[in-house]
Amino acid sequence: MVLVSVNIPTTRITEKVKEKKDLCWYDPDAKKMLYFNGGKLSFDYKYDEKDGKYKVVPKVEDIEINKLVIKKDKNIILKWFSKEYLSTSILVQDEHDDVIIFEVPKDELDDFLHTLDRNRFEYSVEK
């Protein structure tokens, strides 16, 4: 048996993230600066019965943005392995955060390495 360590590839994934930024607005009625944290400010006009006039009321709204995130995804290798080598004697010996170690019989090693090369997986062979 030969041990083959396959590096887990990184993938680029877009995730929706709520944007957070510091917002400020000057309230002309109260004559003071108001500070908020969120996506954007929108304004409602509400009638104030005490003053007998309409007032501008700020409201914080969330904004979702698409953010590019780079992650290591070992499911790419595990899906490939379960699809290509379902009925062979190759075994997954160990899984780590950055590498998966396969136990490969010597007679299947050339085919396994060729398939890794064809799928552009980075690997190292430990004999």
The CATH number covering residue 96 comes to: 3.30.70.250
pLDDT at residue 32 greater than cutoff 80: yes
Does any domain span residue 56? Answer: yes
Answer yes or no: do 85 and 120 share one domain: yes
pLDDT of residue 66: 93
Answer yes or no: do 76 and 95 share one domain: yes
Q: What is the span of the domain harbouring residue 50?
A: 20-62
Residue recorded with tokens 């360590």: 5
Answer yes or no: do 51 and 76 share one domain: no
Q: Specify the number of domains making up the chain.
A: 2
Answer yes or no: do 87 and 113 share one domain: yes
Answer yes or no: do 80 and 57 share one domain: no
Strands 53-61 and 40-48: antiparallel
Helix (H) or strand (E) holding 29: none
Answer yes or no: do 96 and 114 share one domain: yes
Does any domain span residue 88? Answer: yes
Strands 21-27 and 10-18: unpaired
Does any domain span residue 44? Answer: yes
Does any domain span residue 113? Answer: yes
Does any domain span residue 85? Answer: yes
Answer yes or no: do 118 and 85 share one domain: yes
Residue 104: burial class (beta carbons within 10 Å; 0-12, 13-18, 19+):
buried
84 by DSSP, 3-state: which? helix
pLDDT tier at 18, thresholds 50, 70, 90: very high
Which amino acid makes up residue 40? K
Does any domain span residue 67? Answer: no
Answer yes or no: do 7 and 51 share one domain: no
Q: Is this structure's pTM higher than 0.75?
A: no
- The pLDDT tens digits for 79-124 are 888 887 766 788 888 888 889 989 888 888 888 899 899 989 998 9
